[in-house]
Chain A
Amino acid sequence: DAGVIQSPRHEVTEMGQEVTLRCKPISGHDYLFWYRQTMMRGLELLIYFNNNVPIDDSGMPEDRFSAKMPNASFSTLKIQPSEPRDSAVYFCASSFSPGQGNQPQHFGDGTRLSIL
């Protein structure tokens, strides 16, 4: 079984540029999560979707960040314009919840983003 697939694995770009991170969740999973991890702030939830619909985007830092899930097998997280403080590892995770919580989240290997 393929796990959660994220691309690219690494991204280095100059501030002001648009950055698009991509995620393919595990087939059949109905929840998708985007996280950001830094040494200072740990693992922070940015936004999550249920059945392709955004449920909670209160963790999105500001309007420069946007996320979409056009179908059950693909999601993007976009930063425009990017700033050096956006540098972090961004994780996508998916889970299957048959009516009740407590299900494991399966994480991708992350995208290491560096904004110069």
Chain B
Amino acid sequence: TQLLEQSPQFLSIQEGENLTVYCNSSSVFSSLQWYRQEPGEGPVLLVTVVTGGEVKKLKRLTFQFGDARKDSSLHITAAQPGDTGLYLCAGAENYGQNFVFGPGTRLSVLP
């Protein structure tokens, strides 16, 4: 059974700071997704990574998939209040459509 861990659980920073959140597992994933969820809404996909060592950039967000495809990180540069939300990672095995979600990192960016 897959088990995803995310750290930190909570993070509160000032606008303009940089931050990194992590997603770890003992399982190997065929793909890993990052979602952001805002209060009262469902999660929204940010990125999918599929190749070990892959790095993807989405404006100020940088996503990296570990070489062994067991872990991933999300780095945000110059955080803004609009980045506030719950960041969830989700991993899939064997190229399936069934993703297991981590518990999330709740980020608060203060103006």
Contact = CB atoms under 8 A, between A and B. Distances in A.
Do A and B assemble together?
yes
Given A42-B102, A43-B88, A43-B101, A100 B95 contact: yes
Interface footprint category on B: 20 to 34
Interface in A17-59: 31, 35, 42-45, 48, 50, 55-56
Chain A residues touching B, range = 20 to 34
A101 interface: yes
B84 to A, nearest CB: 17
Nearest to A110: B42
Contact of B48 (A45, A93, A102): A102
A105 interface: yes
A109 B41 contact: yes
Interface in B4-62: 30-31, 33, 40-45, 48, 50
A93 B42 contact: yes
Interface of B: 30-31, 33, 40-45, 48, 50, 88, 92, 94-104
